[in-house]
């Protein structure tokens, strides 16, 4: 019985996200943001060279960063601080692989809106309560900690009607981590196949998006997109719990309406997000 | 370098290694690397305060050598792994079941160290035949997709219904071939990959990897950097030990304890995030030192540590006084002291069964030699409860070390301090680095060739200890499984490689 008062001791520790903005505050490495500015030679070349996952490219004199490859090591922020800096923003997932490359191109944005509309239509039935099946397809183990953290009292995803399930037959969302280890591909595919429609696939972490630092090898693939129809790509190495929560809400069309580009300034933080339907997605689904 | 081993016979190898083990050396692991004349085997032994190695070359045309396993049971998994990755046969090994890479016959082998571009291998995922025969005995496969948010692994439980007389483990499902990926990298990139070998012990892996590079470069890291390494390594220890306890409480259905401990773990992860930007301490440890000092001010840091320490201490005390929790752990998953000694069990698994091995004490690295350590006394019961108590003690010890570290750091001038010494860029040679991860001793066998990594073999404590996992079951039943697994507290990424 002594546990009962213990549970009440600290009051409410649970985040209000996504209704209220939340995060870790300044200094936290949620993502790397890129300036919309010409790349100064030769320092941009040194940043491109130093990037361990070849995530940086220069197109028409402008720098672009592929967050699907970025492991947030921070070398570019040191070599070229006027172009790259860390930002606490974790709302970096996207429905299209190309949209993880920032600053985004206009053509990508149109495709992203199309992808979002399609996904929104597909997941209409999932807007209240969803069950998630997690599968590790060759992660480094840290991703599982961050996924598991979603059930701790701080994130407490049950408050949003989000549950983890053991059976793929109950699952609406497949949350997959890891590079795509050869020995897991069959199991991953079988898990996906037995899930009922409609279903959504989230590739969580740069390993799952692009293979990350490990990349393709004799027993690893460059991410999961070749094995499964991925609906949402989540950057991060590993992705943070907030980043994962954002991705899940994005996947099931449950983001608050007002959420838009953090833009207006010269730093490309993220692709603009908005709900795919006119329903009020801020309503928290009850269990 | 390998020339000096060319004359040694493979027949004498097992004798030389087992002789040293008989004389008190602890068998730490057996590594292999592909070289021009064949496959070199490196047996690593801990003798007193040093790590020693015994080497031998198995010629390609011979393709076999007398196995170590009949003399040293702890070599069983290492020889299975080498058999699969290199295709050489340990003669006399009792059971060469597939472990990390079951290949169809004729498939190319990765042969790490050869420096060749990879060829895709062909896996043979067919189920293992049952070992046990008898009326009503059946096999329950657990995994590779688990019933919760866990890493992928496959356990084959052969059972007549309730008892677990026989358990086998297959880890190949998430084998990523990570050690081959090191080849050709420079040490700066190598440390980033080392952090991803076993993601929950990123800091320990980075320290062990950098330790090997620094030995080769004869670099003394600055004292401030050594302190920062301890700070991050001990926070990592607290987070991992809390994770093990969280999994215990989840299995025992202790909902409030589960919520409380996961809140504490989240606070630890956030503190780590505030100190360096990464919730896993990634990017802190670099060859030669650390990348940056902690960004929090001292008073703030002490306050954060006090908050977590008080909360954890209080809740763990109540947890250990909760009979419905303690009863599930007491007498569960017993590893006897003699078995633990023979096997060289590492970390909390070893210390719960009377073993002392702790790299922080045996061979102090980073700033552990400077700090007054609270040594955790090993326990003798060898059950899941003993392992939990060891972890509780280690959590207190970690807070004690962290406070000393912050205290010492605050006395140095942080703004003028040098945080990393330069590392020679064209290093050649080989060395073994180590660190005490939360799971136990991590070793890195590193070969550098003119500044590039020619071979890196990470050996996590998880790999070593998981070889002992099956031995914890004979007296237990299926419902104990989750407790035994949580009390081992291993990371599968570190096992599968």
Domain ranges of chain A: 31-87, 97-254
**Using a CB-CB distance cutoff of 8 angstroms, which residues of chain A are in contact with residue B273?**
24, 28-29
| Cβ atoms within 10 Å, residue A274 | 15
Residue A269: per-residue pLDDT = 53
Q: CB-based contacts of B110: which residues, under 8 Å, 6+ apart?
A: A218, A219, B85, B101, B118, B121, B177, B180
Find the radius of gyration of the CA atoms of chain A.
19
- Site from A17, A77, A140 to mutate, B interface, most B CB atoms within 10 angstroms: A140
Is the same domain home to B24 and B147?
A: no
| A141 → closest Cβ in B172, B266, B493 | B493
CATH class of the domain comprising A97-254: alpha beta
Residue-number span of the structural domain to which B72 is assigned: 2-121
Residue A287: per-residue pLDDT = 30
Tokens of A123: 């997941």
Give the domain CATH number at B66. 3.30.460.80
Q: Could B175 and A219 be called an inter-chain contact, meaning their C-beta atoms sit closer than 8 Å?
A: yes
Residue B4: per-residue pLDDT = 66
Number of folded domains in chain B?
3
B386 pLDDT exceeds 90?
yes
pTM: 0.94
- Site from A32, A182, A244 to mutate, B interface, most B CB atoms within 10 angstroms: A182
Give B461→chain A minimum CA distance, Å. Answer: 14
Tokens of A29: 């490495």
Residue B2: per-residue pLDDT = 45
Mean pLDDT of B37-44: 94
**Where a domain ends, among B174, B208, B239?**
B174
Give A280→chain B minimum CA distance, Å. Answer: 30
Residue B297: per-residue pLDDT = 85
Using CB atoms and an 8 Å cut-off, which of residues 185-244 of chain B contact chain A? Answer: 189, 192-193, 196-200, 202, 243
Tens of pLDDT, residue by residue over B440-466, are 999 999 999 999 999 999 999 999 999
Give B196→chain A minimum CA distance, Å. Answer: 5
| A24 → closest Cβ in B176, B202, B273 | B273
Reference B127, options B88, B155, B93; nearest CA is B155
Tokens of B101: 């890479």
Q: How far is CA B335 from CA A17, B440, B473, in A?
A: 45, 16, 9
Tens of pLDDT, residue by residue over B309-328, are 999 999 999 999 999 999 99
B38 pLDDT exceeds 70?
yes
Question: What is the residue-averaged pLDDT of chain A?
Answer: 86
Counting one residue from chain A and one from chain B, the pairs whose CB atoms sit within 8 A come to 179
Is the same domain home to B42 and B185?
A: no
Give A199→chain B minimum CA distance, Å. Answer: 18
B410 pLDDT exceeds 70?
yes
Is the same domain home to B87 and B115?
A: yes
Task: Convert B27-62 to b/e letters by CB count within 10 Å (16 or more is b).
Answer: bbbbbbbbbeebbbbbbbbbeeeebebbbbbbeeee
How do strand B166-170 and strand B154-159 relate by DSSP bridges?
A: antiparallel
Tokens of B320: 């250990």
Residue A274: per-residue pLDDT = 40
| B243 → closest Cβ in A10, A29, A145 | A145
Contact status of B304 with chain A (Cβ, < 8 Å)? no
Give the domain CATH number at B236. 1.10.645.10
Residue B375 vs residue B490, higher pLDDT? B490
Tens of pLDDT, residue by residue over B203-262, are 999 999 999 999 999 999 999 999 999 999 999 999 999 999 999 999 999 999 999 999
| B199 → closest Cβ in A191, A220, A238 | A238
Give B118→chain A minimum CA distance, Å. Answer: 6
Residue A42: per-residue pLDDT = 83
Is the same domain home to B224 and B352?
A: yes
Residue B430: per-residue pLDDT = 96
Is the same domain home to B397 and B276?
A: yes
Tens of pLDDT, residue by residue over B334-379, are 999 999 999 999 999 999 999 998 999 989 999 999 997 767 889 9
**Using a CB-CB distance cutoff of 8 angstroms, which residues of chain A are in contact with residue B85?**
none
Is the same domain home to B489 and B381?
A: yes
Using CB atoms and an 8 Å cut-off, which of residues 117-176 of chain B contact chain A? Answer: 118-121, 123, 125, 144-145, 147-152, 172-176
B223-251 helix and B481-488 helix, angle to the nearest 10 degrees: 180
DSSP-assigned states of every residue in chain A: -THHHHHHTT------TTTS-----TT--SEEEEESSPPPTTHHHHHHHH-TT--EEEETTEEEEETTT-----HHHHH-TTTEEEES-----BSSGGGGEESPPHHHHHHHHHHHHHHHHHTGGGSS-EEEEEEESS--SHHHHHHHHTTSTTT-GGGGTEEE-S-GGG-SEEEEESS-BGGGHHHHHHHHHHSPSS-EEEEESHHHHH-TTT-S-SSB-S-STTTS--SEEE-SSSPPHHHHHHHHHHHTT---TT---S-SSSEE-------SSSS-TTSPPP-
Strands of B67-216, DSSP E: 89-91, 138-142, 154-159, 166-170
Give A233→chain B minimum CA distance, Å. Answer: 19
Give B19→chain A minimum CA distance, Å. Answer: 37
Q: Is B32 in a helix, a strand, or coil?
A: strand
Is the same domain home to B188 and B315?
A: yes
Contact status of A194 with chain B (Cβ, < 8 Å)? no
- CATH fold group of domain A31-87: Alpha-Beta Plaits (3.30.70)
Q: Could B262 and A134 be called an inter-chain contact, meaning their C-beta atoms sit closer than 8 Å?
A: no
Order of strands, sheet of B26-35, starting from the edge strand that comes earlier in the sequence: B26-35, B38-47, B50-59
Is the same domain home to B208 and B275?
A: yes
Residue B49 banded pLDDT, cuts 50, 70, 90: confident
Residue A124: per-residue pLDDT = 83
- Regions of chain A short of the pLDDT cut 50: 259-265, 271-287
Is the same domain home to B83 and B105?
A: yes
Tens of pLDDT, residue by residue over B122-174, are 888 787 777 877 888 888 888 899 988 999 999 988 888 888 888 989 999 99
Is the same domain home to B40 and B167?
A: no
Using CB atoms and an 8 Å cut-off, which of residues 76-105 of chain B contact chain A? Answer: 101
- Site from A183, A211, A243 to mutate, B interface, most B CB atoms within 10 angstroms: A183
Is the same domain home to B347 and B484?
A: yes
Q: Could A184 and B173 be called an inter-chain contact, meaning their C-beta atoms sit closer than 8 Å?
A: yes
What percent of chain B stands above pLDDT 90?
A: 78
Residue A48: per-residue pLDDT = 95
Residue B450: per-residue pLDDT = 96
What percent of chain B stands above pLDDT 70?
A: 99
| A218 → closest Cβ in B120, B200, B256 | B120
Residue B7: per-residue pLDDT = 67
Q: Could A27 and B269 be called an inter-chain contact, meaning their C-beta atoms sit closer than 8 Å?
A: no
Is the same domain home to B276 and B396?
A: yes
Residue A123: per-residue pLDDT = 84
């Amino acid at each position: 019985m002594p546990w009962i008062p213990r549970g009440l001791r600290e009051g409410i520790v649970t985040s209000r996200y996504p209704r209220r903005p939340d995060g870790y505050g300044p200094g936290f490495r949620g993502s790397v943001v890129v300036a919309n500015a010409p790349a100064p030679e030769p320092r941009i070349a040194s940043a491109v060279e130093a990037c361990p996952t070849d995530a940086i490219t220069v197109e028409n004199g402008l720098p672009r960063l592929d967050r699907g490859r970025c492991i947030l090591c921070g070398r570019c922020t040191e070599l070229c601080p006027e172009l790259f800096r860390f930002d606490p923003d974790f709302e970096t997932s996207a429905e299209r692989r190309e949209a993880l490359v920032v600053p985004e191109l206009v053509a990508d944005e149109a495709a992203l809106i199309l992808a979002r509309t399609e996904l929104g239509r597909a997941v209409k039935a999932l807007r209240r309560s969803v069950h998630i099946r997690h599968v590790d397809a060759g992660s480094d183990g840290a991703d599982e900690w961050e996924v598991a953290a979603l059930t701790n009292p701080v994130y407490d995803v049950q408050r949003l009607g989000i549950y983890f399930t053991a059976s793929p037959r109950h699952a609406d969302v497949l949350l997959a981590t890891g590079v795509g280890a050869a020995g897991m591909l069959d199991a991953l595919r079988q898990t996906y196949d037995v899930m009922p429609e409609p279903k959504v696939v989230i590739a969580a972490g740069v390993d799952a998006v692009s293979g990350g630092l490990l990349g393709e090898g004799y027993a690893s693939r460059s991410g999961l997109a070749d094995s499964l129809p991925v609906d949402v790509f989540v950057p991060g190495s590993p992705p943070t719990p907030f980043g994962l929560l954002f991705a899940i809400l994005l996947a099931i069309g449950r983001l608050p309406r007002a959420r838009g580009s953090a833009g207006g300034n010269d730093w490309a933080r993220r692709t603009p997000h908005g709900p795919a339907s006119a329903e009020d997605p801020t309503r928290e689904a009850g269990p | 370098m390998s020339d000096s081993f060319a004359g040694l016979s493979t027949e004498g190898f097992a004798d030389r290694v087992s002789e040293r083990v008989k004389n008190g050396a602890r068998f730490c692991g057996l590594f292999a690397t592909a070289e021009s004349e064949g496959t070199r085997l490196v047996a690593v032994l801990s003798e007193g305060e040093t790590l020693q190695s015994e080497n031998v070359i198995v010629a390609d045309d011979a393709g076999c050598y007398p196995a170590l396993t009949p003399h040293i049971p702890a070599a069983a998994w290492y020889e299975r792994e080498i058999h699969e990755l290199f295709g050489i046969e340990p003669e006399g090994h009792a059971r060469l079941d597939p472990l990390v890479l079951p290949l169809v016959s004729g498939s190319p082998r990765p042969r790490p160290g050869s420096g060749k571009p990879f060829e895709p291998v062909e896996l043979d995922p067919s189920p293992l035949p049952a070992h046990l025969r008898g009326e009503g005995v059946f096999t329950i496969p657990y995994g590779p997709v688990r019933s919760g948010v866990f890493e992928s692994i496959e356990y084959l439980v052969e059972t007549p219904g309730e008892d677990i007389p026989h358990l086998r483990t297959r880890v190949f499902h998430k084998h990523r071939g990570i050690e081959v990926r090191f080849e050709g990298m420079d040490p700066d990139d190598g440390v980033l990959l080392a952090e991803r070998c076993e993601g929950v012990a990123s800091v320990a892996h980075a320290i062990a990897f950098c330790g090997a590079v620094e030995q080769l470069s004869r670099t003394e890291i600055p004292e401030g950097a050594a302190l920062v390494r301890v700070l991050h390594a001990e926070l990592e220890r607290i987070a991992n030990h809390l994770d093990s306890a969280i999994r215990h409480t989840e299995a025992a259905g202790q909902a409030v304890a589960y919520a409380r401990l996961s809140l504490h773990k989240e606070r630890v992860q956030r503190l780590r995030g505030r100190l360096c930007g990464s919730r896993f301490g990634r990017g802190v440890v670099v060859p030669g030192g650390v990348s940056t000092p902690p960004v929090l001010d001292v008073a703030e840091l002490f306050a954060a540590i006090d908050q977590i320490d008080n909360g954890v201490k209080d809740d763990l005390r109540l947890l250990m006084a909760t009979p419905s929790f303690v009863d599930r752990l007491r007498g569960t998953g017993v590893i006897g002291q003699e078995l633990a000694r023979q096997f060289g069990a590492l970390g909390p698994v070893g210390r719960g069964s009377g073993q002392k091995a702790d790299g922080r004490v045996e061979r102090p690295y980073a700033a552990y030699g400077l700090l007054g350590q609270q040594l955790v006394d090993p326990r003798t019961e060898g059950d899941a409860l003993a392992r939990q108590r060891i972890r509780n003690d280690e959590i207190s010890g970690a807070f004690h070390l962290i406070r000393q570290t912050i205290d010492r750091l605050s006395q140095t001038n942080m703004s003028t301090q040098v945080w990393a010494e330069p590392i020679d860029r064209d290093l050649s040679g080989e060395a073994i680095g180590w660190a005490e991860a939360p799971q136990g001793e991590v070793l890195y066998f590193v070969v550098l060739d003119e500044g590039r990594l020619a071979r890196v073999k990470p050996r996590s404590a998880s790999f070593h200890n998981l070889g002992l996992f099956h031995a914890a079951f004979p007296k237990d039943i299926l419902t104990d499984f989750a407790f035994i697994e949580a009390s081992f507290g291993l990371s599968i990424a570190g096992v599968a490689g």
